[in-house]
Amino acid sequence: MEKMHKVSWTERYRRLSPQEKKNATKEFFINYALYMILGAMIICVIIVNPRFIYYDSLINILCQSSTRLIVALGAAGLIILQGTDLSAGRILGLSACISASLLQSLTYSNRMFPNLPQLPLFVPLLIVVIVGGALGAFNGFGVAKLKLHAFVVTLGSQLIVYGLILVYLYFGVNAGKPIGVLDDRFVNFVLGGITIGSFRVPYLIFYAAIVTGIMWFIWNKTKLGKNMFAVGGNPDAAAVSGVNLTSTIMLIFILSGILYGAAGFLESARIGSNSATTGTNYELDAIAACVIGGVSFFGGVGTIRGVIIGVVMLQLINAGLIFLSVDPSWQTIVKGAIIILACAVDVRKYLVRK
């Protein structure tokens, strides 16, 4: 067996019969069609507009990817459990509004809470993480205990959270206005950076990297991660093997909620002005990125590396289309086609495996 592992894929390919080679080549091109097309698209954008790979634009794309990556990591866990989360964007939006309202500049006259003293940064972060975790627990309870479908539960909670954002924005003297003019400490905490030579890397990218590292550890090195893959792959077999389905599903939902809360905190400072539309459609971007990155909707399959590739590729395509001055309506058509292609490849892989 060990010898088998040591044989390189080129050697294995050479040993195949002509018909097997033909089939293997076809499978390769179909399974990696999406990556090839997206890669070719990015190369075309670079050729047409070389400013696309300038340091500033790349850092901007990475900053935009950072919060989306955190959301996608949360959603990926739920997709691995054969579920989904439509409330991710709204939970992020609520967290962003709460963070912004608690961390407005003291010199700003139209503060949402005029009498609120300057808070340490960790207080709003803790509050939004608790809020996100509680909303995740609500979704998890519906799925794990009440056996409701994740799509329906999270659709309901999406609407509830959107309502909560609107109620919150009309709280006190704010009267529905976007929450802006944030404390400099907060903005610097997120958008400040480390200067290496003539390059400046924002802290936001480091935070995303830290969260990714933590999630990699949870997915690959903890009992919860192993149980998540077991439950997603075959819930009945996992239950027979002694895995507690309820607690596993609940914990993954809570973890996702915490990630949305943290992403909302960071996104709040990144965009500067937070309103009811903050976080809209982020869940769809996250789900699309997961599917592009090979996280299977049939459950039990997915990697952190795949999620990162999916998020960055989707963001590169988004930015590339903007660089080509493509109309926003056409951008959504391209995104939709990419998602359908990714889904088709996913279902095909599943059927071939079966």
Site for other proteins, rule CB under 8 A: 30, 33, 37, 40-41, 44, 48, 321, 324-326, 330, 333-334, 337-338, 340-341, 344-345, 347-348, 351-352, 354
Residue number, 37 or 137, with CB nearest to other proteins: 37
Report helix, strand or coil for 179. Answer: strand
* CA atoms in the 13 A half-sphere facing the CB of 256: 37
Give the residue among 264, 343, 351, 337 at the shortest CA–CA distance from 79.
Answer: 343
* Nearest of 226, 253, 254 to residue 242 by alpha carbon: 226
* Choice between 52 and 260, CB closer to other proteins: 52
Q: Kindly tell me which of 126 and 344 has the beta carbon lying closer to other proteins.
A: 344
Phi-psi region of 236 (alpha: psi -120 to 50; beta: other; left: phi over 0): alpha
Q: Which C-beta is closer to other proteins: that of 34 or that of 269?
A: 34
Q: Compute the distance between CA of residue 99 and CA of residue 298 in angstroms, rounded to an integer.
A: 36
Q: Is 147 helix (H, G, I), strand (E, B) or coil?
A: coil
Is the CB of 198 or the CB of 325 nearer to other proteins?
Answer: 325
Closer by beta carbon to other proteins, 41 or else 144: 41
Q: Which sign does the torsion angle of CA 115, 117, 120, 121 carry?
A: positive
Q: How far is the CB of 248 from other proteins (least distance, A)?
A: 31
Least distance to other proteins from the beta carbon of 199, Å?
30
Residue 23 CB, shortest distance to other proteins, in Å, is: 12
Q: How far is the CB of 136 from other proteins (least distance, A)?
A: 33
Shortest Cβ distance from residue 311 to other proteins (Å)?
19
Q: What share of the chain is helix, strand, coil (3-state, %, to 5)?
A: 75, 5, 25
| SS3 category, 30 | helix
Closest separation in Å from C-beta 41 to other proteins: 5
